[in-house]
Amino acid sequence: MTSDQIRQVILEILERIAPDEDLTDLDDVRPFREQMELDSMDFLDIVMELRKMYRIQIPEEDYSNLNTMAGTVSYLLPRLKDVAVGA
């Protein structure tokens, strides 16, 4: 997967978790929680969706890498580089 494809997957997950949020102006470098009403359970839902969709393990100590879109994409890129789109 490419960075753009991973970003799109994250946006789709965020849309499911927070359907009332407007994601059109999401700033990739600002923390999700500053831009959206996400609580810790919502964050865990994101991690679980990624785990379920792509069978990747994200250790709790790595969660801080997932607090922005840019950080999430950078973290996931090497882990999903061999995943086909739509997998």
Burial of 26 (0-12, 13-18, 19+ CB in 10 A): middle
Position 2 scores a pLDDT of 94
Position 86 scores a pLDDT of 55
Position 15 scores a pLDDT of 95
Position 6 scores a pLDDT of 95
Q: Which residues of the chain have pLDDT under 50?
A: 87
**Domains, the chain, ordered by start:** 3-20+29-80 (1.10.1200.10)
Position 3 scores a pLDDT of 95
Position 83 scores a pLDDT of 82
Position 84 scores a pLDDT of 73
